[in-house]
Chain A
Amino acid sequence: MMKKLLTLILSCIAVIAVKAQTAAVPTVDPYGKVSQADLDLKKCDFEPDANAEVLFDYGVMDGKAGLPMGHRTRIKIFNEHGKGYGSIELEYYSYQGEIGIADIKGETINYENGKTEITPLDKKDIYNVRVDKWHSMIKFAMPDVKAGSIIEFTYRQLIPAAWHFQYYLPTRYSEYELNITGNPNFKTVPYVKQPYVKSKGEPIDPYQIRAMANIHSMPNEPYIGSRVDNLQRVEFVGINTRISTWPKIGELMIKASDFGYDLDRNLSGESAIIAKAKTLQSADEKIAFIFDTVKNRMKWDGNMNFYTIDGTVKAWDQKTGNSTEINMMVYHLLKKAGIKASPLVISTKSKGKINPANPSIFAFNSTAIFVPVDSTKNYVLDATNKYALYNTMPENILNSFGFNIDPHDALSINLSDNLKAYNVMFISDEEPAMQSIYLNAEIKPDGKMDGNAEITSSKYNKAHALQLYETKGPEKYLDTFKNFDNNLKIISYKRENTDVDSLPLVQKVDFSFALAGSDENYIYVSTPFFNIFNKNPFLSEDRYSDVDFGYLNNYSIYSVCKLPSGFKTDALPKTLTIVAPDKSIIFKRTVAEDSGTLMIKYVIIRNKSIYFKEDYPDLREFYKKMYEMLSEQVVLKKT
């Protein structure tokens, strides 16, 4: 009998059996006991601009009956802006009416006129809200919270999926103590960057303590990649011996009714599609055709799952399905058309990366299709994104791992002996995306630049432009070229290659651009960029997460302008090249004038997609210079 993966997921979120054990000596203050220093504390020592600080966060499995973990959190509110942290929401899983959080107790401690005042949280003010079929939430507002208050609350809970050391608030001290003697099938997987201040036991030991101190908050930052991945935490993993290795996970999935069974089912009317595919010459043409056929027929229902729900056959008929259903159709049709392919189970950026060293079925949230075209080239296909191109890796899994299941190998050989059928692979796109502008114009004595431009965009840039055009509509799309600058007028617009994945998008515009600042004596020449650049994203001075651009991106902007008669160049920006210290980004600017024709060329090559936060100062400085160079103008003077 085939098992459903969905059922497995649900049944695994259960209490892990625990055995009584005395708690270790805590390195946190006892409940309600607050030091004078903390009462007087005015700001967070290591993050002085924080509005509040977690003084400690402490979880311990102390052997008490019922919910195994006692959890206690103490927060200092520094100012008015921090008062919102006095409202607490704790979510838990309650599919079958389970109580996931209980024994809530809390108090607010204020210190005024040399006196400590304690206001307890009234039980009547604790609400239990059924969020939906699966979740509930405990909600309460701490009483008497003002600038300077300390709030403390404690509750019992199930063992969480992870212990988070890092939040939106800075944390002075965070500790967990696990005691799962009697359950050997358990381990912890750390994702931490700072050293522990206390550490006992190995990750597979039933008794463990980990503590960390002075943890900076994690702000939301541009190009953060996955926020989930950036938070320092330790994941608690129940080892189900049936699925403790990648081959075992693969075997289970291939035998599951909502994965393996659905993978290769015949779809109504497929013979015409397969026949058409077979008439195409190259593998690329076949892949493109099948990918586009599924992409255009199927509407993704917005659900990311790594298993099917309605099944591919029903989804195909209804023309809508979840991510796995849609991509399994691609797999099936490719296979029928004679193209080798295999499902690649993935985890998108919103969920966080799959850890190759930590085999877990719970890490997945979708399925894409891996196509090894030849020894030098392979594709990963995800037909849920209407704007995706077959020859470009899906953007939401770039620089992460996928779990590849080769069903052909998997079914024909002894699974446990053969690791080749299942492997974890790194997904990245080494071919840079490209944006270029070729611009030809004439500058008029009144300070207007009239001309035409051809904007070429490949890969992700193409996909983004197509998406923007569809979602905004033609008129609003052209407004984005102007980027709130009425000086730029688009006179005509044409685009090419929208439907051919293998060719870059070409957009042709006739434009008129009033050169800002010009007067009767001077004309200041700048190039319209048609919004292919955003504003500099790296104004922030500090950085707490790595910068993940996802893909490589190259720009080239080449403009040739006829100068107006009666004007000569008065100032020409220098021709120069700037290179990042690690040589990962190059910016070149060439400016020249020759017998009444002005030539300006910019080239930007970025050949790295991930920058560690330690390298941020260099990256920021490079961007600052580059944006300065891009804004320098040519000055023409009336003769």
Chain B
Amino acid sequence: MKYLVAIACFLIAGRALGQDLPKELYSAAGIPDSLKQDANSVIRYSLDEYHIKAPGKIVIKHHSLITILNEKADRMAIVVLPYNRKFDTFSDIDIRAYDETGKLLKKYHKTDMYDGAASDDETLVTDSRFLGVKHSVAKYPETLEVSYEEDLNSYITLPSWYIQDGLEQSVQSSTIKVWVDSAAGFRYQSRNIRLTPQVASDGSLITYTWQVKDIKAIKKEERAMSWREMAELKFTTNQFVCFGNQGNISSWQKFGTWIYGLNSDIALSPARAVEIKKMTDTIKTDKDKARFLYHYLQENMRYVGIQLGIGGYKPFAASFVDDKKYGDCKALSNYMRSLLNVVGIKAYCALIRAGENEEPASFSFPHNDFNHEILCIPFKNDTTWLECTSNKSPFGTLGPFTENRTALLITEDGGKLVNTPKSQSKDNQFNSEVNIALQPDGSAKAHVKIYATGEYRRNYVDNEAMKLDEQKERWLRDLDIKQPSVFDFNSGKDDKGLKQVDMNLEYDKFCDVMAGDKQFYRPGVFALWHNVAPITEKRTSDFYFDFPLQKSCITTIDLPQGYEVESLPANASLKFSYGNYDISYVYNKDKNQVVSTAKFLLNTRMVPATQYTEMQQYFDAIAKAQNKKLVLHKKA
């Protein structure tokens, strides 16, 4: 799955403007204890000034003082200013480091900064660049003062005010001021914080001032979503200019119109159109045609991220993709739209914020937080969504990367914000059958069959990219399987969204302990559920799973000849608010066989903080149930 634009919006710095800040802000001595709690750094002072000159044109002056309390906040000493050579210039960069008492230690200017091309795993070519400096904190606490002026001549929406630059950071005082013409259609919305600006006007120029003081640090918790916790003030003007292209984001409809205009190159050559029609002309229904063309896309195209200038938003022409057989998410989505168009099926590209459990776009506040594009086919009563960057996704499935949130459909009538579907636990299944043949000497042979759908399937299909040896190791580690002496593994069929995996395992010693006439076993090859939630006194943020799921395992254990069951592991039936776990054991004396059936269900992707402890105890109870032993003894 690939992202649309590789431009990260760092909001780090500012500008001195010659004003003198109170001396005590430079010394670490005056930080109140309440702001040190759970904090690794403290924003002592921050002032951002947004001078909106015209649509798409803004001068940002930034000035901040951040005290770094310990090495966990060392990243605050790394200043990164992303820019684009043609549209974004930084000047008057001044970075100073002060010791605990406020004595100046070191200064950096633009010439001291590393000037690098931005890069990530998904992107081959981009014109995004960054200026960076990595200051080394000699002794904690140390205070870093950053100021600069940024002349930005391209934006869709303005850089947000994040107040805290990450978790475990407190704020003594932070201010943002915006100067904007009353006709610019300036609007704002806050998230996770209630803020009211002071508003002043001077003719048509309006000044908004937001200020916060004494904000406590937010403690880091596992599997929390930062957009649910961190305060953010989003703002924008209705008109914008993006890499020289004018647009309007006063409504989703208008923003969609602008994107629609960028997506206009969908024509394929007449010869190719004939070929594509011919490929599908014997297929009866539109849905089957779409399915066929999606598979055609998956087999023939590949993801390549090339984003230059407006190319961050405007896809390659469909004919280019057709010719080169590659493109990024928007180029591939637009190409798929073009293929469907040739056979008379209407489809819409859709902008989305991708990532597991990521923030949905707001119906009431049009703002550009998108980073990905997918495709939507509005079949009657059967809206179908396609992830066009995946060579392996089954037709019509999205998965946790894009499901369960809003997406902006780009239609000929403009943008329409709609919800993407969400998978249920039944869509993400791990089912398994295990046969274990135990021998009197404690050795064993086991056969494992796994049937996976949804995200489990996707993971196992992705694993096939690895070397065979690495895949085996991954299986042993992921399922916590005891290391066998012989491991034959067959990554089996992948058909209609069902992935099958077969393993043959041989053990010299499968028995945990043997003594006298007794044998003690862990009664399975793997346990069904491995997650443990750390014990915590007070969880404050909601806990997220990537997807709801269900698992099952039926294990048949053939007992060693001459042995019988002394005691079976206890059956268990456990419940919590969002699922249940059952395990039961049956001993068939005639076959000298133990059959266990284990089932696990999780029917949510979010557990509220208030129910965290319930979940933690439930997981502990599952672990306990799974650890019970099978005890055998020699037949009399």
Contact = CB atoms under 8 A, between A and B. Distances in A.
B483 interface: yes
Contacts of A572: 515
Contacts of A431: none
A132 B115 contact: yes
A583 interface: no
Among A83, A299, A536: residue with most chain B CB under 10 A: A299
B304 interface: yes
Nearest to A317: B105
A84 B305 CA distance: 11
B302 A145 contact: yes
B138 A320 contact: yes
Given A519-B570, A539-B477, A540-B470, A143 B324 contact: yes
A517 B628 contact: yes
Interface stretch (B29-37, B264-272, B282-290, B619-627): B619-627
A484 B532 contact: yes
B629 A522 contact: yes
Contacts of B323: 143
Contacts of B117: 129-132, 137
Nearest to A516: B627
B513 A632 contact: yes
B266 to A, nearest CB: 20
A563 to B, nearest CB: 16
Contacts of A51: 465
A524 B300 CA distance: 57
Contact of B629 (A298, A320, A517): A517
A542 B326 contact: no
Interface in A549-572: 570-572
Given A146-B325, A633-B512, A541 B72 contact: no
Nearest to A473: B72
A87 B139 contact: no
Interface string B609-623: 000000010001001
A143 B628 contact: no
A420 interface: no
B483 A571 contact: no
Interface residues of B, number: 60
A632 B512 contact: yes
A132 B114 contact: yes
Given A81-B465, A130-B117, A540-B470, A320 B106 contact: yes
A167 to B, nearest CB: 14
B629 A524 contact: yes
A318 interface: yes
Nearest to B617: A486
B468 interface: yes
Nearest to A132: B116
B554 interface: no
Nearest to B85: A130
B374 interface: no
Contacts of A320: 106, 136, 138
Contacts of B476: 539
A318 B534 contact: no
Given A517-B628, A540-B473, A49 B520 contact: no
A86 interface: yes
B627 A517 contact: yes
Interface in B320-334: 323-326
B473 A49 contact: no
A635 B515 contact: yes
A346 B130 CA distance: 32
Contacts of B302: 83-84, 86, 145-146
A401 B402 CA distance: 52
B295 interface: no
A517 B513 CA distance: 13
The listed residue with most B CB atoms (<10 A of its CB), out of A87, A131, A521, A536, is A87
A294 to B, nearest CB: 12
A516 B621 CA distance: 11
B120 to A, nearest CB: 13
B299 A146 contact: yes
B71 interface: yes
B535 interface: yes
Interface in B466-522: 467-470, 472-473, 476-477, 483, 485, 487, 509, 512-516, 518, 520
B325 A145 contact: yes
A115 interface: no
Contacts of B300: 146
B137 interface: yes
Contacts of A49: 467-469
A122 B325 CA distance: 13
A319 B142 CA distance: 12
Interface in A595-639: 624, 627-628, 631-635
Contacts of A300: 136
A86 B620 CA distance: 47
A144 interface: yes
Nearest to A631: B512
Contacts of B631: 522
A627 B23 CA distance: 60
Interface in B536-559: none
A301 B71 contact: no
Contacts of B620: 486
Contact of B72 (A141, A318, A471): A471
A524 to B, nearest CB: 7
B636 interface: no
Interface in A287-304: 297-302
A299 B116 contact: no
Interface string A131-142: 111000101010
Lowest 3 CB-CB distances: which A-B pairs, in order? A571-B515, A319-B138, A81-B465
Given A146-B325, A632-B513, 5 more contacts: A81-B464, A83-B391, A299-B136, A318-B105, A540-B469
5 contacts: A141-B304, A145-B326, A219-B469, A516-B623, A572-B515
Interface of A: 49-51, 80-81, 83-84, 86-87, 89, 122, 125, 127, 129-133, 137, 139, 141, 143-147, 219, 297-302, 318-320, 470-471, 473, 479, 484-487, 516-517, 519, 521-522, 524, 535-536, 539-542, 570-573, 624, 627-628, 631-635
